[in-house]
Every structure is written in C-alpha cells, then in structure tokens.
Amino acid sequence: MFEVRYTDLAARIGRLETPHGSVETPAFVPVVHPVRQTISPQFLKKMGFDLVITNAYITFRHYGDEARKRGIHDIIGFDGSVMTDSGGYQVLEYGSVEVEPAVMAQFEKDIKSDIPIPLDKPTGYGLPYEKASEYVRITLENCKKTLEVVGETDAVWVGPVQGAEHYDLVEHSARALDAMGYQLMALGSPVEVMEAYEFATLARMIARYKKAIPAKPIHLFGAGHPLTIPLAIALGCDMFDSASYMLYAKDDRYMQPQGTARLADLAYLPCQCPVCSSYKLDELRSLPKDQKTIEVAKHNLHVLKAEVDTCKQAIMDGRMWEYAVQKARAHPKLMEAVQLFGGSEFEFMADNTPAFKEKAIFFFDPVDQHRPEARRFRQMASAFKSAKKKLVLFPEGEVHPFYSTRGFKELAKKFPDAQVAAYNPFLGVIPAEISDVFPASHNLTSRLARKIDDYPSFTESLDAFLANNSFDEVIVVADDFMKQAKLKARVEDYHSDHVIDRL
C-alpha cells in the first residue's frame, strides 16, 4: 500500500497506492471546492498533481443522492486520486456540523473517495488540556464507528491524529488509531499553530507522532506555505493539503521560495513559471480582479510544486539537511524548530538517514553538529577502544581520510607507539583507524573562528572518548578551538597523574 524508495533524515520518497492509481510522495495536495472551483482539476492534473482533496461535507449538503450516483470523481471532474475531508474543517471553524459520523462515513464510501477521512473533532491550538482530551476521545469514538460502518473497502482510510500542543494526547491518539488498523495517518490541528508561527510546536507534534508510529505514511493538514514544506518533509511528513494557493491569490499575495509578497510591493516578477513568463508585472497587476486571482493562484501552484520537487531532489542527493536548514534561515521561528533537532526527541531523524552518501556533507555552523551523520560518527568514535597508552591529537585538515595526510605520517613516525587521532568541532575525535569511515572520510568544514561553548557535542564526545580509554600521556597539537577545551583539566579528571604537552 505504501512503498518507500529513498530516504534522508526522516524524509522519504514513497508511493501510495489508491483505487485510482498511485501517488508519489512527498505530495502537495491542492484543495478543490466541490461546487465552485476556480481553477479546473484538469489543469491541476496537467500540472502533475495526481491527488487532490475536496470537502465531502459540502458535497453531501449540496449534491446529496446525486453525488452517490455520480461519484466524487465525476462531481469535481478529476480522474486521479481524490481525498475527502468529512467536515472536520467546518467543525474547527464553526464548532459542529449537521451530520452524524456514521452517515458521513457511509457517504464517503458511496461516493468512492480514494482517501476518505472520518468525521473528527479537531483540537485546534490553545485548547485547555481537559477539553483537548475530550475532543481526542470523541475523535477516536468516531473513527471506531467509521470502520464498523464501512467494513471491507479498497479505500485508504485516514486516521486523524488530534492533540495539538498536548504531545501526550498526540501520541495516545496515534497509537489508538494505529491499533484500529488505519493505513494512513493525518496530523490534525496544525493550521493555527502555523498561523501563530509556532514552528517549534509543530516540530514537536510531528516528532511525538513519529515516536509512536514511525513507518506509516502521514498527512499534515493545512501546510501550504513554501517555507513550511521543507521542515515538514525533513521531519517525515509525506503529504500536506492546503487551499493557500487560492486564498493567497485572492489577497494578492504572491508566493516565492523564501516567503510571500504583496503583488503591489513587487518591483519585478522574480519567477519564470508560465504565468510570470507571460506577463509583465504591470500587466499582471492591472488584470481584472477575477482573472488576476486565477493567474496568481496558478503561479502559487507552480511555486508549491517546485518546492516539493526540490525537496525530492534533495532527498535523492542526500542533501535534505542542508536544504531544510537553508530554508529555515528565512525566518527566525523556523530556525527555532531546527535548533530542536539536537534533542533526544528528534533522534528518529537518524533512523532513515543513509549510513553512507556519495557526496560530501557540509559543516557550516553549530546547528550542523546535530545532523544525524555527525551524531552517528561521534557515538562510534566515543566507543573506540585503543590498546595504546599515548594519545596524539591533531586538528583535522581538508584532506581525507586523515591517515593519508602528510601530518599523520609525520606524527606516526615521531610517535610510533601512540594512538593518533584528528579532531573536528562537528565530528569530535577521529581515530586514524576509522578516519576512512563516512562522514570523516567525506566532509567539508567551513573555516570560521569557533567558540567551543557552541559545540557541546564536541566536549561530550571528547570526554566519552577519554573515559573509554586509559592513556598515560596525551599530546595535542592545539588550534584556537582546542585551546578553549581546557584539555589538561579534562584528562586529569580521568587520569590525575598524566600531563599534556602542547606542540
């Protein structure tokens, strides 16, 4: 049902099978209005969108039995895969809908939705814990009733995970839906979190879900901003829907890779999509309102699709970390989320990061010490056990592996009985014997002045390496970075009668 083809961080390129064909993920899923869609679904299909989402509740209220006869694909005029929201958005906006969960479930089955969503009770953002817990309970009851009603089906039913910033409720909701047998999960209530720019909260919501259910595909409701998409993909989200392309266009908001801008504030059209290639800026601004909205919406769709495709290429190239961090620098609140990646709750990001990559990884500044490849190497080096009683530490250069350098050969000749190791602010201690292991063998570090206090992972791995060995003497060629490490005191903590010489 869901096949993963390539991975990097928690990001993955996969294939989701539905009754109307397969959908490659990560996938942006455009929202299509079932009654008055401005941009035709045929245009979306031609652009390359194989999956759209529409509102089953509005379809139910407007079409009724006609929709049961025709099916949702005919109603909206789309021959690809169709996902249907059963009214959860209306519940979030208005508090309730005039339909029972069982009736809605049967309707979604009758209209042959490929990826139907049970009628849930979204928790939103900022809800007191007791109320959020009650909404989770109602959602789980509705989801259980839904499966009882629909029985055997080819559709991929979605388990809506609620709880928002109450992370234990997110985990409880996810585990309960998984136990019911839902094949695809969807993280509910993120829109208000994203509107508040609480991206760190969003990251923790996703991380708590991934802790509970690491393998099943996950959909993120309402993620339709080009800056949010790389963060969501890096954390393992496979699909995300939004009507942002049209809502922004109605407000004359022009999407760009680094954010959005008011059309009136632009001096140029910094894009070469078919829309922007067809108009001069003044021509686009002077179009009649309805036509201008359509053209800007089409441009916005191109930007969103390009963002997803760029993320896919980054996954293929093993560059998802570099790309996600690069995009996060466009807004301080996004960087707050990325800074969390060093915490234990985000260790799952290492699980699907390849052990080896064809291209060198890049180290720029302190945040990069948390990338999975560096963490994995530090753990290996910290556990390295040497039989030798003398340690020589040498700053890593740009030639890899370390044992092939002139510096190593000179040290090995001068200290034939010593354990020789390089050191790097991001990778920690690099024993010569494992300096040909990725990424010690394949990295490029920017030459910047660094404060050791910004690299706690370095001092932690250095301490672990010293504690795991019994060196009688430690000799260090200390660069400016290592001079801050107070290495003499560190060694004496483990071997009180030993001395360090700095060459």
Is the N-terminal amide bond of 34 cis, ω within 30° of 0?
A: no
Report the candidate in 187, 177, 300 with the shortest Cα–Cα distance to residue 239.
187
Predicted confidence at residue 361, as pLDDT, reads 93
Residue 159 is which amino acid? Answer: G
Determine contact, residues 240/217, Cβ cutoff 8 Å: no
**Residue pointed to by tokens 């001079």:** 483
Nearby residues of 486 by Cβ (< 8 Å), 6 or more positions away: none
Q: In what helix (H) or strand (E) does residue 331 lie, and over which residues does it extend?
A: none
Predicted confidence at residue 499, as pLDDT, reads 47
Domain ranges of the chain: 2-241, 361-502
Predicted confidence at residue 95, as pLDDT, reads 55
- Ranges of beta strands (E only) in 269-404 are 361-363, 390-395
Q: Mean pLDDT for each 10-residue chunk of the chain (503 residues)?
A: 94 97 97 92 95 94 93 95 83 63 93 95 89 94 94 93 94 97 90 85 95 95 92 96 95 94 94 95 96 97 97 97 96 95 93 92 95 96 94 90 88 91 96 94 91 94 92 88 78 54 50
Determine contact, residues 16/4, Cβ cutoff 8 Å: no
What single string gives the DSSP state of each residue in 416-443? TTSEEEEEETTTEEEEGGGTTSTTTTSE
Q: Alpha-carbon torsion 161, 240, 7, 14, what sign?
A: positive
CA atoms within 13 A on the CB side of 82: 25
Give the span between the Cα atoms of 65 and 494, in whole angstroms. Answer: 78
Determine contact, residues 103/135, Cβ cutoff 8 Å: no
417 to 125, 126, 334, 420, 492: CA distances (angstroms): 62, 63, 49, 9, 21
Residue 22 is which amino acid? Answer: S
Determine contact, residues 160/91, Cβ cutoff 8 Å: no
413 to 27, 179, 403, 408, 418: CA distances (angstroms): 56, 62, 12, 8, 10
Nearby residues of 106 by Cβ (< 8 Å), 6 or more positions away: 149, 150
Q: Specify whether 85 is catalytic.
A: yes
Strands 27-32, 51-55: pairing is parallel
- Phi and psi at 11, nearest 5°, equal -70, 150
- Which of 8, 85, 114, 368 does the annotation list as catalytic? 85
The domain made up of 361-502 has a fold known as: Rossmann fold (3.40.50)
Torsion-angle region of residue 126: left (phi > 0), alpha (psi -120 to 50) or beta?
Answer: left
Predicted confidence at residue 406, as pLDDT, reads 87
Check whether domain 2-241 has CATH 3.20.20.105, yes or no? yes
Q: Return the structure tokens found at 162.
A: 């609620």
Q: Alpha-carbon torsion 350, 353, 355, 361, what sign?
A: negative
